[in-house]
Structure 1
Amino acid sequence: MFFANNIYRERVHIDNADAGQDYFCPACKGKMIQKRGNVNAHHFAHHAGRDCDPWYAGKLSAWHSKMQSYFKPEAREVIIWNQQHTEYHIADAVLEFNNQKYVFEFQHSPISQETFLKRSDYYVQCGYRIIWVFDFCNPQRPKTIFIADDDDETIKHLVWTGRNRTRFIDNINFSKYNNRLRIIFHIQTGVGKQTQIDMEDYYPWSKWEYINPTHKDYCFARLCLEEFTSTSDFWAQYYSEEEFYNRLRHLNYAKDSTSG
């Protein structure tokens, strides 16, 4: 976690924490340890064996910290209880605008379909819309997502040649969320050309040509879930990195935006 409470119950970011002071988890109230290594981003950690929120474990990457930085401190690491007040989870960021409450979940590490659905269902049942943002820019074995239709339209036809980390998204019935769930990829893209081959007496197939395969472009793509079937071939709303970060800033500092 990047925030913890001091002895006065004030939220303190790890970068502003005093090494000689005690800090406590705002969720379970347990005493925290300050971690300032060279691998993960600086953070607060629970003592070994201390149970808190397993969903929030491991969210310590520099990418995760950067994404949260676009939100006001009070909108980050928000504790959300269920209606029965028997279960809580720590959301990465929470905003309210246009009379709707939104949870933002930033996912850098691999995740299973079971965990994805469990988290999504929990926040939706608690009255939130959930926006997932997945980091696929620097996985262990980087795979480029190719833009099949390279034009000026904001809706892009994308093809992913290596989709091991996202196969859990395939075949999910997103209609049950009734537009209360969105999925956004932070990706590395190239340019390609897809040609449909339809020869007599053969099944039709797609032929791929990579146009300038050395080209690399980082962007965000929001999946069009109404038409989605597979991450191997899908449609998405395209945002440049600058445009996406500006949208986060705009939502975060809108006049009617408040933390939930």
Structure 2
Amino acid sequence: MRICLRVMQMLIAKSNGKSVLAANANREEQYWCPGCHAELILKKGNFKISHFAHKNRMCQIFSEGETVEHLLGKKRILAAYRKAGYNGELEKHIKMLNQRPDIVVKYKEQKTVVLEFQCAPLSLKKMYERSMGYHTNGLKFCWILGQRYKIKKKLTQQISQ
């Protein structure tokens, strides 16, 4: 079963100078966007994944919608790295690039690898630009492709790129 729900949300926010995962957040606290520093709303219930949302939806850094596959996938990828003994963060804003990769993992000798879990359509040009941004700034990176890119009976041009 594939769920295609798109929502304007994020999993990480700032509170008292610290990053807080939405699943661990408390409704009595105030939360702020790590990118634009605007106030956020905590959305936590029984049916949707806990997340933060902008009150005005005007943030340029955290503006894309995310599918349930993407939200769950990046949490599971990070959990697998942590289980293997690595430190990592979800949606860490990289100021020098003005972007937030899905996952940033620290490995031996404090080296960093950036993981992008790509579920939505992304042009080859955009993927190249992001990859070159990481490379130019000395960051190792890896793209992990979601269900949309799964090879079925025939290879489409987009998937082959």
TM-score, normalised on structure 2? 0.72
Structure 1 or 2: more strand by fraction: 1
| Equivalent in the alignment of 1:76 | 90
- The residue type equivalent to 1:58 in the other structure is G
Measured against aligned partners, the alpha-carbon deviations of 1:8-60 in whole angstroms (never above 9, x if no partner) come to 22221111111232100122211112234677632112233412315x62235
| Equivalent in the alignment of 1:94 | 104
Q: Which moved more, 1:58-67 or 1:99-108?
A: 58-67
- SS class of match (1:81): coil
Structure 1 pair 33/128, CA: closer, same or farther in 2 (3 Å)? same
| Equivalent in the alignment of 1:64 | 74
- The residue type equivalent to 1:75 in the other structure is E
Give identity over the alignment, percent. Answer: 23
Structure 1 pair 15/48, CA: closer, same or farther in 2 (3 Å)? same
Q: Which moved more, 1:39-48 or 1:115-124?
A: 39-48
Aligned alpha-carbon RMSD (Å): 2.8
Structure 1 pair 89/112, CA: closer, same or farther in 2 (3 Å)? same
Distance in 2, matches of 1:74 and 1:130, equals: 14
Q: Which runs of 5+ in 1 are unaligned?
A: 145-159, 170-260
Structure 1 pair 88/97, CA: closer, same or farther in 2 (3 Å)? same
Structure 1 pair 32/165, CA: closer, same or farther in 2 (3 Å)? farther
- 8 Å Cα contact 2:78-2:88 kept in structure 1: no
- SS class of match (2:80): coil
| Equivalent in the alignment of 2:12 | 3
Structure 1 pair 93/67, CA: closer, same or farther in 2 (3 Å)? same
- 8 Å Cα contact 2:23-2:44 kept in structure 1: no
- SS class of match (1:75): strand
Which protein shows a greater Rg? Answer: 1
| Equivalent in the alignment of 1:208 | none
Structure 1 pair 91/51, CA: closer, same or farther in 2 (3 Å)? same
Number of aligned residue pairs: give it.
Answer: 144
1:103 shift after superposition: 0.7
| Equivalent in the alignment of 2:50 | 42
Distance in 2, matches of 1:111 and 1:98, equals: 31
Confirm or deny that 1:115 pairs with 2:108: no
1:21 to 19, 25, 29: 29
- 8 Å Cα contact 1:81-1:126 kept in structure 2: no
Distance in 2, matches of 1:29 and 1:119, equals: 23
Distance in 2, matches of 1:25 and 1:120, equals: 24
- 8 Å Cα contact 2:151-2:159 kept in structure 1: no
- 8 Å Cα contact 1:76-1:93 kept in structure 2: yes
Distance in 1, matches of 2:79 and 2:133, equals: 24
